[in-house]
């Protein structure tokens, strides 16, 4: 791997905790695909890692609960013909997945009131529109 993959800030994916598995990939490549293990499966044990702060770890375990198998998150990549590019893709995908899962929750929305003038204008325009439509009826034309 050329560079450590940043999750967020100064937190990186630790190379020692990444488990790689390679297999034959389907897709483009002709006979080359039948002989090389270009598909990459990257596994990261989220439940046992020491690389993430405890708050981030809890948040990620909660948000990725549907994707975890025994506390391990798995990412596959087989888009490219070369194993190296698939390794890069899988690592970047895992880093972005963890960055999204460990992000702090958004600030709660502060309720705001609609200004009285805007509400009055809306009601006035509705009244004008209903008057226009009422004027289109054929009543009173006989």
Q: What is the CATH number of the domain that holds 52?
A: 3.30.160.20
Mean pLDDT along residues 40-58: 88
In a domain, 118, yes or no: no
Model confidence at 107, in pLDDT bands (50, 70, 90)? very high
Query: Is the CB of residue 124 less than 8 Å from the CB of residue 117?
Result: no
Mean pLDDT along residues 96-119: 92
Of 99, 112, 35, the closest CA to residue 63 belongs to 99
Residue 133: CB atoms within 10 A of its CB come to: 9
Per-residue pLDDT at 48: 87
Choose the most confident range, by mean pLDDT, from 11-15, 27-31, 113-117, 137-141. Answer: 113-117
In a domain, 16, yes or no: yes
Query: Is the CB of residue 5 less than 8 Å from the CB of residue 94?
Result: yes
d(CA 23, CA 38): 6
In a domain, 132, yes or no: no
Q: What is the mean pLDDT of the chain?
A: 86
Query: Is the CB of residue 99 less than 8 Å from the CB of residue 7?
Result: yes
State the residue range of the domain holding 83: 6-102
Model confidence at 120, in pLDDT bands (50, 70, 90)? very high
d(CA 87, CA 18): 11
d(CA 81, CA 40): 11
Coil, strand or helix at 10: coil
Per-residue pLDDT at 1: 47
Per-residue pLDDT at 29: 62
Q: How many domains does the chain have?
A: 1
Model confidence at 54, in pLDDT bands (50, 70, 90)? confident
In a domain, 123, yes or no: no
In a domain, 45, yes or no: yes
In a domain, 69, yes or no: yes
């Amino acid at each position: 791997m050329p560079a450590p993959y940043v999750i967020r800030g100064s937190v990186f994916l630790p190379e020692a905790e990444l488990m790689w598995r390679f297999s034959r990939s389907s897709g483009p490549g002709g006979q080359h695909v039948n002989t090389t293990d270009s598909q990459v499966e990257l596994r990261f044990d989220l439940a046992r890692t020491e690389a993430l702060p405890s708050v981030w770890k809890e948040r990620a375990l909660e948000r990725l609960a549907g994707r975890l198998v025994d506390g391990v998150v798995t990412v596959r990549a087989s888009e490219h013909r070369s194993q190296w590019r698939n390794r890069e893709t899988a690592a970047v995908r895992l880093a972005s997945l963890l960055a999204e899962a460990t992000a702090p929750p958004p600030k709660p929305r502060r309720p705001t009131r609609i200004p009285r003038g805007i509400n009055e204008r809306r009601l006035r325009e509705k009244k004008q529109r209903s008057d226009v439509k009422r004027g289109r009826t054929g009543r009173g034309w006989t």
